[in-house]
Amino acid sequence: MAERIEKTLFAAADKMRGAMDAGEYKHVALGLLFLRYVSAAFEAKRLEFAKDEYIDLEDPEEYAAENIFWVPEKARWDMLAANAKSNDIGVQVDDAMREIEKANSSLQDALPKVFGRANLDRAIVTGLIEMFTNLELHGTKSDFDLIGRIYEYFISEFASSEGKRGGEFYTPKTIVSIMVEMMEPTSGRVYDPCCGTGGFFVQSEKFITAHQGEVDDIAIYGQERNHTTFRLARMNLAIRGIFGDLRWNQEGTLTRDAFADERFDFILANPPFNISDWNGEALREDHRWRFGTPPAGNANFAWMAHIHHHLSANGIGGVVMANGSMSSMQSGEGDIRKAMVEQDAVDCMVALPGQLFFGTQIPACLWFLAKDKSNGKAAGGKLRDRRGEVLFIDARKMGSLISGSRKQKELSDEEIAKIANTYHAWRGEEAAGEYADEAGFCASVEVEEIAKHNFILTPGRYVGAGAIEEDEEPFEKKFARLRRELQEQFEESRRLEIEIETRLGGLV
């Protein structure tokens, strides 16, 4: 039911987009949604204050004390809604954004001011305002969940319609969930060095809420290089009421680390895969490369070294990586991987199924790094000494196509729980029960064994029989699939034959 609202809204919003580029349009739609949120939050608080005769309803400080953004009169939604059809509505929205930024220093430069541009069709702004005005709100906490969900759904759908580019600011929910469930960030400092729109933070907060924890027990830190994405992230967190220290600079995390002296308990990241213009040559001597200097032509291992460097004594880092990182031998990457394994930096490897990302088939894997595998804490308990061992999980056979999508897969909650539980059991969390290898799915492997495989970390190699060869489908399954495809093609063929006959018959 709830999902229907998000879907309907997005479908309507997308229709209004017309010929406008999805990448630009998302700032327009999400910016207005944010405006709707701050106004709603403000009005709800104002109503509450109105019951108290000692509170000055027009005093911004009263609102700030309650973590509610102050919304100046000109920027209030009712005002904009009333003027939705006026010719200069775009300029009015821009002004509203500026007013809100001026009144709330924490939002400085976070909001888009693109509505008054000559090339933006006024009808789009009017249409979106009318649509969001019709969004039924009740002045309660559940409103913000709803707007948060809509915001997230919009981001994911925009990521989808931007195709491959969407991957830059949005990590598919399935992947975020696996990592959060495995790592259990319930308290401490959480960091994402390339945070996109902040998906990991939102999911971490949800995880805490789901486990009856206190959201205030975590502190959030993030850096993002793309400035417009950085804005989306700040709005995303603001809607969720999450306070985080998000930073932006032109050079990006690897070159100008905004948190150079900080250490974190949980690092979650989905860095861009295989980038070569990362300034690697200039950074050759950087102190972060304790496992060896990453090749200038590929930043994969630079990201991993950066993340490991920033882990606190008990810290765990989860990184989404291109599959090549598990086996590449070029430019010294094999040696770096060897050093990481030998120095016990790698805790667990997960091979993911393909088709989890939008618009690309690219298969990816997850690396879990630990600062100190001799102990650690999770979910209140102490972890066992895992030195000299690595857990391999092969999840390639998991997942099914998202309903309505022919190209994108997701994992079910049960599948995600199975992966997370395997990791929890392996690292000695009592609640997760006893760990055991499962042929074709998981294996706990000693470093000597990994050395025999030349430090290649592809889980398929270690999980043993039951696993299929790389990308090789067993005959039984393959044959059944091909037969099904052929039947469908024959049917489609007959349908097309009839259509062709009919269409040719219609020519005069």
Least CB distance to another protein at residue 159 (A): 13
| Contacts by residues 104-108 (CB-CB < 8 Å, ≥ 24 positions apart) | 104/64, 104/69, 104/70, 106/238, 107/69, 107/234, 107/238
Residues in Cβ contact with 68 at an 8 Å cutoff, skipping those fewer than 6 apart: 41, 42, 45
List strands edge to edge, sheet with 346-351. Answer: 244-247, 218-223, 188-192, 264-269, 311-322, 364-370, 346-351, 389-394, 442-446
Q: What residue ranges bind another protein (CB under 8 A)?
A: 18-19, 21, 23, 162-165, 167-168, 272-277, 359-360, 362, 406-407, 475-476, 478-480, 482-483, 485-486, 489-490, 492-493, 496-497, 499-500, 503-508
Tell me how far apart the alpha carbons of residues 471 and 364 are, in angstroms, rounded to a whole number.
13
Least CB distance to another protein at residue 470 (A): 13
Tell me how far apart the alpha carbons of residues 113 and 44 are, in angstroms, rounded to a whole number.
25
Q: Which residues pair with 321 in a beta bridge?
A: 365
- Give whichever of 451 and 480 is closer to another protein, judged by the CB atom: 480
Least CB distance to another protein at residue 165 (A): 6
- Give whichever of 137 and 232 is closer to another protein, judged by the CB atom: 232
- Give whichever of 163 and 433 is closer to another protein, judged by the CB atom: 163
Q: Give just the sign of the alpha carbon dihedral 414, 415, 420, 424.
A: positive
Look at residues 192, 157, 190 and name the one whose alpha carbon lies nearest to residue 173. 157
- Give whichever of 434 and 476 is closer to another protein, judged by the CB atom: 476
Least CB distance to another protein at residue 275 (A): 5
Least CB distance to another protein at residue 171 (A): 14
- Give whichever of 118 and 507 is closer to another protein, judged by the CB atom: 507
Tell me how far apart the alpha carbons of residues 295 and 431 are, in angstroms, rounded to a whole number.
42
- Give whichever of 241 and 272 is closer to another protein, judged by the CB atom: 272
Burial class (CB in 10 A: 0-12, 13-18, 19+), 359: middle
One-letter amino acid for residue 149 of the chain = R
On whether the CB atoms of residues 419 and 393 are closer than 8 A, the answer is: yes
- Give whichever of 54 and 475 is closer to another protein, judged by the CB atom: 475
- The end-to-end CA distance of the chain, in Å, is 49
Look at residues 235, 274, 263 and name the one whose alpha carbon lies nearest to residue 101. 235
Least CB distance to another protein at residue 327 (A): 13
Least CB distance to another protein at residue 360 (A): 7
Least CB distance to another protein at residue 225 (A): 12
Least CB distance to another protein at residue 274 (A): 6
- Give whichever of 74 and 164 is closer to another protein, judged by the CB atom: 164
Tell me how far apart the alpha carbons of residues 9 and 3 are, in angstroms, rounded to a whole number.
10
On whether the CB atoms of residues 326 and 365 are closer than 8 A, the answer is: yes
Q: Any idea what DSSP says for residue 86? A: S
- Give whichever of 20 and 55 is closer to another protein, judged by the CB atom: 20
